[in-house]
């Protein structure tokens, strides 16, 4: 359906909402994603010996970029999707030459038009995230958003899990209405309590498959181990009010943060990168439920 829509010059939610796709980033452009960035460059078809087909999408984040996602190199589907399974084979940004860099690599779904369809008085923010901080490449941050309001402090609704994948230890399971707070989730929202560890896991030096299964009553975060086995990172089955309700764009990006650092740090790991930083995406796919 997506290709037919493009042939006839139609780019709409109708064209894409139920369309299955696989993008291996072998060519210089994509029929499914648009790439952009003023503080960095997305390069599709980059020669990459670690990619399955020898080509990948390389994001270059420029030195000394402003903080925030605005202008950061990104890829975003033309259309929006909802229930189904999303997979990405990716390698997060590597900051080993500047360990205090504040850089975020993201694989996520997202939609925010400032509407309030859930009627709680806060603009809806439908978003499901995999994120990695460059300063702690062994840790993955998972989150499910329903609301975001740019106030001081911001008014948010998000559930959140942090895992050290090198040990399998779950570091944090929280519900938040303000940044920095942590309201403990109920037992059904915290499964599994321990994750299968991946020896020597480093998101910035090795490609891994990361997957997201989204249903009306479930958000299942998963990945594939080195032998192709599926590892459940978080099988979230919480209240409907904590589930995104909108169709969302499927996105990847890399950006500089000056206000988010690894747990246990004192706020030092937020330096702007002084040299180019790279994130790689080898494959991106969606299969509707």
- What are the residue ranges spanned by the domains of the chain? 21-288
Contact at 8 Å (CB) between 60 and 255? Answer: no
Residues 6+ apart with CB under 8 A from 197: 165, 166, 167, 168
pLDDT for the residue 19: 85
Please check whether the domain covering 21-288 is classified as CATH 3.30.420.610: no
The SS3 call for residue 4 is helix
- CA torsion 63-65-70-76 (nearest 10°) is 10
d(CA 44, CA 28): 5
* CA 280 to the chain's CA centroid: 13
pLDDT for the residue 64: 98
Residue numbers of the chain with a pLDDT score lower than 50 = 1-4, 6-14
d(CA 209, CA 260): 25
d(CA 199, CA 206): 12
d(CA 206, CA 26): 19
């Amino acid at each position: 359906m997506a290709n037919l829509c493009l042939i006839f010059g139609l780019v709409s939610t109708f064209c894409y909402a139920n369309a299955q796709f696989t993008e291996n980033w072998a060519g210089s452009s994509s029929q499914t994603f648009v790439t952009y960035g003023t503080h960095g460059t997305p390069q599709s078809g980059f020669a990459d010996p670690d990619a399955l087909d020898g080509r990948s999408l390389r994001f270059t984040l420029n030195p000394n970029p402003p903080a925030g996602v605005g202008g950061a190199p990104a890829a975003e589907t033309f259309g929006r999707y909802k229930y189904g399974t999303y997979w990405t084979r990716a390698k997060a940004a590597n900051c080993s030459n500047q360990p205090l860099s504040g850089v975020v690599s993201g694989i996520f779904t997202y939609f925010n038009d400032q509407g309030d369809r859930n009627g709680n008085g806060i603009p809806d923010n439908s978003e499901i995230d995999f994120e990695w901080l460059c300063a702690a490449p062994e840790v993955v941050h998972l989150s499910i958003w329903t609301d975001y309001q740019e106030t001081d402090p911001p008014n948010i609704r998000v559930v959140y899990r942090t895992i050290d994948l090198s040990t399998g230890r779950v570091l944090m399971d929280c519900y938040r209405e303000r940044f920095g707070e942590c309201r403990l989730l109920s037992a059904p929202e915290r499964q599994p309590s321990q994750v299968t560890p991946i020896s020597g896991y480093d998101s910035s030096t090795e490609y891994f498959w990361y997957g997201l299964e989204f249903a009306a009553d479930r958000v299942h975060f998963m990945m594939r181990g080195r032998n192709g086995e599926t590892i459940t990172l978080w099988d979230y089955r919480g209240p409907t009010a904590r589930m995104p309700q909108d169709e969302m764009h499927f996105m990847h990006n890399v950006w500089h943060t000056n206000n988010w650092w690894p747990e246990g740090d004192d706020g030092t790991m937020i330096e702007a990168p002084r040299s180019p930083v790279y994130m790689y995406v080898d494959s991106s796919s969606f299969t509707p439920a």
